[in-house]
Structure 1
Amino acid sequence: MFPENLSAFAHLTAGAIGGVAASLIRVPTEVVKQRMQTGQFSSPSDAVRLIASKEGFKGLYAGYGSFLLRDLPFDAIQFCIYEQLRIGYKAAARRDLNDPENAVIGAFAGALTGAITTPLDVVKTRLMVQGSANQYKGIFDCVQTIVREEGPSALLKGIGPRVMWIGIGGSIFFGVLESTKRLLAERRPKPLNGKHD
């Protein structure tokens, strides 16, 4: 749909739309995981049952706005960086890229995006684990409170491990993505006239 010069916009948009769809599953999962990590619940089923009974269905979507604030930019930026680097590298190499090259580009895109979005992740985590205590009044109050009480560097807590695991995840995700796309393209029957539909 987009002309070639707007491919970055297309990749940003695709990443963001994918992120919104995934958030419907990822947010409740993240809420349960975060609450279990802080020792509030002993099992996922207990967590779901007790969160829903104490806080209602919306409790499973605690921090949804901050999750989207972190994940929409993350998904859009990571996908865009990956695709733009891949386009540039493919043009320079004048050939299709192999699996290790796609994996390295994916790792770089993931690591860079992880670093850029760490402050958003810190805010998201604080909002999700507060439970019904409502320590923060929202995203901006959370940022202001963190900066006031702990200093601006607190917004970068965990950046090292985050960059590392997201880089590894990006490598695996994009490496598998490209392998799967290639395998599916090879299995697609070739049209008799040599043209694609």
Structure 2
Amino acid sequence: MGPLTLAIDGKSSSMVLSDDSTVKLRNQQFGSRKPFASVGIGEEKPFDFFQTLLDGIIAGGTAGVVVETALYPIDTIKTRLQAARGGGKIHLKGLYSGLAGNLAGVLPASATFVGVYEPTKHKLLKLFPENLSAVAHLTAAAIGGVAASLIRVPTEVVKQRMQTGQFASAPDAIRLIASREGFKGLFAGYKSFLLRDLPFDAIQFCIYEQLRLGYKLAAKRDLNDPENAVIGAFSGALTGAITTPLDVIKTRLMLQGSAIQYKGIFDCVETIIRDEGPSALLKGIGPRVLWIGIGGSIFFGVLESTKRLLAQRHSKPNQHAERKQD
């Protein structure tokens, strides 16, 4: 290897370094550059696409089921508030109506989202310069959201119609929706769902990742579970408030059924504002912010813990193999 020229106080001096010294110097130079926020992936370990995909599926599914089970009653109240017209009374019975069927959709949807998000994020962070890491997070979350939407939307349609008392069980809901409205009935409000969830996923994960990164760099250490939970709660609550109007539109379109009340997204907005006033677009904002804030805390806390446990399990065989070689 040729000589390495170093500039010191404006003067040049030549140093001939051995290969080992050059490697060490490069490691020192590049080793100080911290990768942007990652979920449970060791900073110095080589990127394993399939392992990251699998870990994301497991961690995402676990986090999604825990959050949905814990916060389902709040989600039910939010849906009933948004569905009500005028000053309709909100019933508090059957707050867990549709939970079992919803979990059957939440598990694969959450697993799909995180499973797609994690490896996509890692790939994009390598492609984009460091000052565009937020774009990488936004893009990865949007891609994960599109993949998960194929599971989320039918699940959401069935869940919300059960929450508002239209059906007694998930199988009945699926059968009757399909017979009355056709297969497309299970994807009612799909465009409005994407309109709400793609910005939501992108904003929430971007805020979370960037705050987590900034905190990590300031503290010069990895974050613990309570810190991840607090950041997750803040990012969830803020994103939930911003996207409430989109959630109201999505809820109305999903609940209209075969009696078409709205011709589309724009007609839905115009009708709500004309008949109920602009404030109707913020219906359910209290329960939504509470639900997503607490949900963000639980989701990201469980996600990080699960990813860390999986990473520790992966490292044990490697440590065992290293001891054997020694």
> What range is the shorter-chain TM-score in?
over 0.9
Letter paired with 1:11: H
CA distances 1:42-96 after superposition (whole Å, capped 9, x unpaired): 2111110011111111000000000111111111110000000001111111111
**Map 1:155-170 → 2, pairs under 5 A:** 155-170=281-296
Structure 1 counterpart of 2:150, from 5, 24, 28: 24
What do residues 110-147 of structure 1 show as CA deviations (whole Å, max 9, x unaligned)? 00010010000000000000001110010011011111
Between the aligned partners of 1:86 and 1:77, the Cα distance in structure 2 is 14
Deviation at residue 150 of structure 1 after TM alignment: 1.0
Classify the secondary structure of the residue corresponding to 1:124. helix
Alignment of 1:33 onto 2:159: yes
Partner of 2:205: 79
Equivalent runs, 1:48-59 vs 2, <5 Å: 48-59=174-185
Give the aligned CA root-mean-square deviation in angstroms.
Answer: 1.5
Identify which of 238, 241, 258 aligns with 1:132: 258
Bigger radius of gyration among the two: 2
Q: Normalized against structure 1, the TM-score is what?
A: 0.93
AA of the residue aligned to 1:98: N
Match of 1:15 among 132, 141, 151: 141
The number of equivalent residue pairs is 193
Pair 1:171-2:308 in alignment: no
Structure 1 position 171, deviation (Å)? 0.5
Q: What is the CA–CA distance in structure 1 between the aligned matches of 2:249 and 2:137, rounded to whole Å?
A: 26
1: CA distance between counterparts of 2:307 and 2:159?
31
List alignment gaps of at least 5 residues for structure 2: 1-126
Deviations 1:165-194 (A, max 9, x none): 10111001111111122222223344889x
Does residue 188 of the first structure (1) align with residue 324 of the second (2)? Answer: no
Higher helix proportion (structure 1 or 2): 1
Amino acid at match of 1:53: S
What SS class does the counterpart of residue 95 from structure 1 fall into?
Answer: coil
Matched to 1:139, the amino acid is I
CA distance in 1, matches of 2:163, 2:213: 40
CA distance in 2, matches of 1:73, 1:94: 31
Write the distance in 2 (CA, Å) between the matches of 1:42 and 1:172: 29
**Secondary structure at the residue paired with 1:83?**
helix
TM-score calculated relative to the size of structure 2: 0.57
Written as runs of structure 1 = structure 2, the 5 A alignment for 1:77-156 is 77-156=203-282
Among 65, 79, 91, which residue is 2:191 paired with?
65
